[in-house]
Copies of this chain bind each other. A is one copy, B any other.
Amino acid sequence: MGSEVHPSGVIDNDKTVFSSPKITAVEGNNGEQENHELHPQIPGWFAEHCPIWPGEAHFLKVENVCFQGKSEYQDMLVFQTSTYGKVFVLDGALQLTEKDECSYQEMMTHLPLCSIPNPKKVLLIGGGDGGILREISRHSSVEHIDICEIDTMLIDVYKKYFPDVAVGYKDPRVKINVIDGTIFLKSVPRGTYDAIIVDAFDPIRPDHELFETQFFESVSKALRPGGVLCIQAESFWFKSLDIQQLLIKSSQTFKGSNDYAWTIVPTYPSGVIGFLLCSTEGPHVDFRNPINPIDPENYGISKKPLKFYNSEIHSSAFRLPSFAKKTEAKSTTKGV
């Protein structure tokens, strides 16, 4: 690993542990008092501030620190909480808690995989915690799973501190590619994958920088006709998300179906996270109807049943509150 493992214990120096990289607050200095007011800190507590939702902060008490370190790429922190279990923080941003990760991982995986018949080859970009691998492993049709995760220290930390999440790595169908996903995609033959799941970027919205790159084109090329993409998208509670605009943008690349779904994650800003689902031109995909249901007897490598996902929740995920429907394009799902 890149850094020493800290012994367990409460770290009360909140300057390096608990402050997001954007925070430079130092107490007692008037010039920086403004930063402290914008991004408050409390010794012994972790605070996540969401930049697009100013004036709000979600604090979790650190019962003890399990790990704190720095790889070649990013800062990592693992700590224990009272009611969320262990929490993983990357560069000051909360990634995962043991309590509610089931919602995100299960929906991110099964919304796309249950929408297509017999997925065989799946690519996961990011998702280094292993939870999505755990979920993919419930699908017996899958023959090969590529994961692109550039930070091997991150994988090691998850394996050590979140074994029920990282259990996905034990599936023999998994091949770890220690490479940036964008670079990996360049070498993938056209039409290789049935599904590509992307858990590597900030939630997508219409003005996301990814739309300025060739990323989505690379993904589209790597998918077979009628193959599917799932990538996390902004919560509809944020004004920055215009679902209609988002689907118009994605449909410029993905000539099959484009749709938006959501799930609940208490520890994420607004308690909701979205998903952008796209398919390439080819066999029709209707994301709203899970034609490839999970075999309830197939627990995959975790040997445990689903905690969150089921077929009812799958179709509910596409139903929007009225204020969000106003910005929803008629889903670009084409009829058969």
Contact of A42 among B40, B54, B323, B325 (CB under 8 A): B40
Is A329 on the interface with B (CB-CB < 8 A)? no
- Tier of interface size on chain A: 35 or more
Contact yes or no, B63 A55, CB < 8 A: yes
Q: Is A169 an interface residue (CB 8 A)?
A: no
Nearest CB on B from A202, distance (A):
18
Indicate if A56 sits at the interface (CB-CB under 8 A): yes
Our pick among B56, B264, B313 for the contact of A83 (Cβ within 8 Å) is B56
A270 within 8 Å of B by Cβ?
yes
Q: Which residues of B contact A99 (CB under 8 A)?
A: 237
**Alpha-carbon distance between A63 and B55 when the two chains are bound, in angstroms:** 8
Give the segment of A226-234, A275-283, A302-310 that binds chain B. Answer: A302-310
- A200 and B291 CA atoms in complex are apart in Å by 44
Mask of A54-76 contacts with B, CB within 8 angstroms, 1/0? 11111111010000000000000
| Copies of the chain in the assembly | 2
Contacts of A184 in B (CB 8 A): none
Given A54-B83, A55-B63, A270-B266: A325 in contact with B310 (beta carbons within 8 A): yes
In the bound complex, what is the Cα–Cα distance between A44 and B40 (angstroms)? 10
Q: Complex Cα distance A266/B81, Å?
A: 21
Q: Does A295 contact B (CB under 8 A)?
A: no
Answer whether A44 and B54 are a contact pair too, CB < 8 Å, given A264-B271, A271-B264, A321-B308: no
Question: In the bound complex, how far is the Cα of B268 from the Cα of A237, in angstroms?
Answer: 14
Q: How far is the CA of A59 from the CA of B55 in the complex (A)?
A: 8
Query: Within the assembled complex, what's the spacing in Å between the Cα atoms of A82 and B100?
Result: 27
The CA of A304 and the CA of B54, in the complex, are separated in Å by: 28
A272's nearest neighbour on chain B, judged by CB, is B264
* A37 lies within 8 A of chain B by Cβ: yes
Q: State whether A82 and B60 are in contact (beta carbons under 8 Å apart), knowing that A310-B322, A313-B319 are contacts in the complex.
A: no
Q: Are B54 and A82 within 8 A (Cβ)?
A: yes
A102 within 8 A of B: yes
4 A-B pairs besides A55-B63, A56-B59 with CB distance below 8 A are: A42-B42, A57-B58, A264-B264, A313-B322
9 contacts between A and B (CB under 8 A): A45-B57, A54-B82, A55-B82, A56-B84, A58-B58, A264-B321, A307-B323, A308-B321, A313-B321
Residues of A near any B CB (own CB < 8 A): 37, 40, 42, 44-45, 47, 53-61, 63, 81-84, 99-100, 102-103, 237, 264, 266, 270-272, 305-310, 312-313, 316, 319-323, 325
